[in-house]
Structure 1
Amino acid sequence: MAFTGFPEAALDFYDDLEIDNSKVYWELHKGTYRTAVAVPMAELTDELAAEFGSAKIFRPYRDVRFSKDKAPYKTHQGAFVAVGPATGYYVQIGAPGVRVGAGFYEASGERLAALRSAIDNAIHGAELEQLVNKYTRTGWELGGDVLKTAPRGWSTDHPRIELLRHKSLTIARDYGFDEIIHSAALVKQIRKDWRAATPLIDWVCRHG
């Protein structure tokens, strides 16, 4: 079926889950999760698949084996379209509403070294710097795992040291509770956002 928007029940579901993250709550409301969250997310990503590829819709369960936080359920539902190793397009819904993003979410040592080498390059690094500046000027939030100091082997006065510090690099945009998240128009908006993010994805895939 065509995506018609996330219902208000999806936001209410996650509001309550943040308060009572328990199996009892989940079992009582798993029907709401399916109809208000899982099914609409599948419909949304299906409509985007022809252009961007099939999405992995993440399981709602947390891996608590090595975590002090034993809350069993994620407080958002995410979906990811991979176009490279840990690189691609992202969308999620949770209590704060809808968030979209793109970038590389982690990198092996060898791949990270290749990306940093490209950032160091005058031409390729300047290209990424221009992209990032454009995104931040147009309302995207720059994110990722960032070192507090320069990575080993790089000077703190490198002209692109802020980019070199990134162990992952993402851009994201929030739609929160905007009315668009409850309508079919969200598909068009996310398509527009992901198209805008494609130059970043392409840069990462070329150099990493």
Structure 2
Amino acid sequence: MPRHFTGWPEAAFQVLLRLEGEPSPEVMRALRKDREELVRQPMVALLDDLAWADPAFEDHAVWRYAKTPGPWQTQSALVRLARNVEISLRFNLDGLHVKGAWWYGTPDQIRRFRAAVAADPALEGMLADLRGRGYEITGDVMKRVPRDYPADHPRAGLLRHRSLLAIRTLGADDWLRTPAAVDAVLAAHKDLSPLLTWLTVHVAT
């Protein structure tokens, strides 16, 4: 199928430049049409192409606007993979960013996460691989190991997590102005797939 996403034009960056700082409501209103055409609609096309290329991207949403400047300065999109397991994309003046996340977990999910971490060292290896590929691993982390586990557990650091995120900035190079951005996101999804699959199997259900 021919791709609809052709890249973010240079004019998209110019719109975002004008929205930097604390733009007035008048400036935001004046730029709304250009921002929709040049910034948001390319993200819509990108997600549509991703969904055609990989069914994992089918359940997605592309954010619209808000009264505050922040959402105008960054165009966000979300792909729902399982309960509280998601991929998110952000486009702003720094380029395109991708995040694989399990967050906003329920108490039951957090218990399942900890039990799986305690029983199986596989997640550690996945995260080490992602770090080696340039991903930042972060999340909501407790100060201490949960009381149900020994403080010297070999995976004590992971047991402290109440959410888990892998984040990478893909950049703002010339490919971002071309259809190649579709392939860049698909490659990032391939990187993240072992982690996201593990979270879906062990935590989300």
SS of equivalent to 1:172? strand
Once the two structures are superposed, the pairs formed by residues 68-87 of structure 1 within 5 Å of their partners are: 71-74=68-71, 75-87=73-85
1:45 aligns with 2:47: yes
CA 1:142–1:2 in structure 2 vs 1: closer, same or farther (change >3 Å)?
Answer: same
Contact kept in structure 1, 2:60 and 2:79, CA below 8 Å: yes
Please give the TM-score of this superposition, normalised by the length of structure 1: 0.87
Deviation at 1:72, TM superposition (A): 4.9
1:61 aligns with 2:59: no
- Paired residue for 1:109? 107
- Paired residue for 1:118? 116
Consecutive unaligned residues in structure 1, runs of 5 or more? 63-70
1:176 aligns with 2:181: no
- Paired residue for 1:14? 16
RMSD: 1.7
Q: Distance in 1 between matches of 2:6 and 2:98?
A: 18
Q: Distance in 1 between matches of 2:19 and 2:138?
A: 26
Query: Which one-letter code corresponds to 1:138 in the other structure?
Result: R
SS of equivalent to 1:56? strand
Give identity over the alignment, percent: 28
SS of equivalent to 1:91? strand
CA 1:150–1:57 in structure 2 vs 1: closer, same or farther (change >3 Å)?
Answer: same
Q: Deviations over 1:99-136 (max 9, x none)?
A: 01212132111111111110011xx3x11011000110
Q: 169, 184, 197: which is aligned to 1:202?
A: 197
Q: Distance in 1 between matches of 2:195 and 2:150?
A: 25
Deviation at 1:41, TM superposition (A): 0.4
Q: Deviations over 1:43-90 (max 9, x none)?
A: 00000113122311123326xxxxxxxx35423111111111121222
Contact kept in structure 1, 2:22 and 2:69, CA below 8 Å: no
Q: Which moved more, 1:52-61 or 1:89-98?
A: 52-61
Consecutive unaligned residues in structure 2, runs of 5 or more? none
